[in-house]
A = this chain, B = another copy of it.
Amino acid sequence: MTEFNSVTIIKKANIYFDGKVTSRAVIFPDGSRKTLGIMLPGEYEFGTEAEELMEIMAGELEVSLPQEEGWRTVKGGESFKVPANAKFGLKVIEVTDYCCSYFA
Protein backbone atom coordinates (compact mmCIF):
# COMPACT_ATOMS: atom_id res chain seq x y z
CA MET A 1 0.00 0.00 0.00
CA THR A 2 1.76 3.15 -1.17
CA GLU A 3 -0.94 5.61 -0.16
CA PHE A 4 -3.78 5.92 2.35
CA ASN A 5 -7.14 6.99 0.93
CA SER A 6 -10.14 8.72 2.56
CA VAL A 7 -8.18 9.52 5.68
CA THR A 8 -7.88 12.52 7.99
CA ILE A 9 -4.43 13.96 8.58
CA ILE A 10 -3.63 16.19 11.53
CA LYS A 11 -1.91 19.21 10.04
CA LYS A 12 0.49 19.95 12.88
CA ALA A 13 3.51 17.69 13.35
CA ASN A 14 4.61 15.98 16.54
CA ILE A 15 8.17 17.15 17.17
CA TYR A 16 10.58 15.29 19.49
CA PHE A 17 14.32 15.48 20.20
CA ASP A 18 14.78 18.99 18.73
CA GLY A 19 13.14 17.89 15.48
CA LYS A 20 15.36 14.85 14.96
CA VAL A 21 12.21 12.73 15.31
CA THR A 22 8.96 14.05 13.84
CA SER A 23 5.66 12.49 12.88
CA ARG A 24 2.12 13.27 11.75
CA ALA A 25 -1.04 11.42 12.73
CA VAL A 26 -3.33 9.83 10.15
CA ILE A 27 -6.84 8.77 11.22
CA PHE A 28 -8.69 6.08 9.27
CA PRO A 29 -12.44 5.82 8.60
CA ASP A 30 -12.68 3.02 11.23
CA GLY A 31 -11.15 5.34 13.85
CA SER A 32 -7.78 3.59 13.91
CA ARG A 33 -4.64 5.70 13.85
CA LYS A 34 -1.15 5.54 12.38
CA THR A 35 1.72 7.98 12.42
CA LEU A 36 4.06 8.66 9.51
CA GLY A 37 7.42 9.89 10.69
CA ILE A 38 11.07 10.63 10.08
CA MET A 39 13.99 9.90 12.39
CA LEU A 40 17.43 11.37 11.85
CA PRO A 41 20.58 9.57 12.98
CA GLY A 42 20.91 9.47 16.77
CA GLU A 43 20.00 7.41 19.83
CA TYR A 44 16.51 7.59 21.27
CA GLU A 45 14.34 5.91 23.88
CA PHE A 46 10.60 5.70 23.41
CA GLY A 47 7.70 4.37 25.44
CA THR A 48 4.51 2.77 24.17
CA GLU A 49 0.97 2.90 25.48
CA ALA A 50 -0.75 0.64 22.92
CA GLU A 51 1.03 -2.17 21.08
CA GLU A 52 2.83 -0.77 18.04
CA LEU A 53 3.91 -2.06 14.65
CA MET A 54 6.83 -0.05 13.24
CA GLU A 55 7.24 -0.46 9.48
CA ILE A 56 10.55 0.93 8.27
CA MET A 57 9.95 2.22 4.74
CA ALA A 58 13.48 3.52 4.20
CA GLY A 59 16.62 3.87 6.27
CA GLU A 60 18.48 1.75 8.79
CA LEU A 61 18.42 1.49 12.56
CA GLU A 62 19.13 -0.82 15.46
CA VAL A 63 16.37 -1.57 17.93
CA SER A 64 16.48 -2.88 21.49
CA LEU A 65 13.14 -4.50 22.33
CA PRO A 66 11.92 -5.64 25.75
CA GLN A 67 11.15 -9.15 24.44
CA GLU A 68 14.62 -9.60 22.87
CA GLU A 69 18.21 -9.46 24.11
CA GLY A 70 20.66 -7.05 22.56
CA TRP A 71 20.21 -4.95 19.44
CA ARG A 72 18.68 -6.01 16.15
CA THR A 73 19.32 -4.25 12.81
CA VAL A 74 16.21 -3.19 10.89
CA LYS A 75 16.32 -1.81 7.33
CA GLY A 76 13.91 -0.34 4.82
CA GLY A 77 11.21 -2.92 3.99
CA GLU A 78 11.41 -4.55 7.44
CA SER A 79 9.31 -4.02 10.56
CA PHE A 80 9.12 -4.81 14.26
CA LYS A 81 6.45 -4.91 16.97
CA VAL A 82 6.63 -3.30 20.39
CA PRO A 83 4.36 -4.50 23.23
CA ALA A 84 2.02 -2.12 25.07
CA ASN A 85 3.37 -0.16 28.04
CA ALA A 86 6.99 -0.89 27.14
CA LYS A 87 10.18 1.06 26.61
CA PHE A 88 12.38 0.47 23.57
CA GLY A 89 15.65 1.90 22.35
CA LEU A 90 16.62 2.96 18.84
CA LYS A 91 19.98 3.77 17.30
CA VAL A 92 19.15 5.36 13.96
CA ILE A 93 22.04 4.80 11.52
CA GLU A 94 20.53 6.28 8.34
CA VAL A 95 17.62 8.71 7.94
CA THR A 96 14.57 6.56 8.58
CA ASP A 97 11.09 6.95 7.10
CA TYR A 98 8.54 4.96 9.09
CA CYS A 99 4.87 4.15 9.50
CA CYS A 100 3.72 3.26 13.01
CA SER A 101 0.40 1.47 13.60
CA TYR A 102 -1.25 1.38 17.03
CA PHE A 103 -3.38 -1.50 18.27
CA ALA A 104 -6.06 -0.98 20.90
Is B12's CB under 8 angstroms from A4's CB? no
The digit string for A14-36, where 1 denotes a CB below 8 A from any CB of B, is 01001110101011000000001
Question: Is A38 at the interface (CB under 8 A from chain B)?
Answer: yes
Q: Is the CB of B13 within 8 A of A4?
A: no
**CB within 8 Å for A38 and B22 given contacts A15-B58, A97-B15:** yes
Distance between Cα atoms of A4 and B12 in the complex (Å): 11
Contact, CB under 8 Å: A95 / B18 = yes
Residues in A14-67 with C-beta less than 8 Å from chain B: 15, 18-20, 22, 24, 26-27, 36, 38, 40, 57-58
A74 within 8 A of B: no
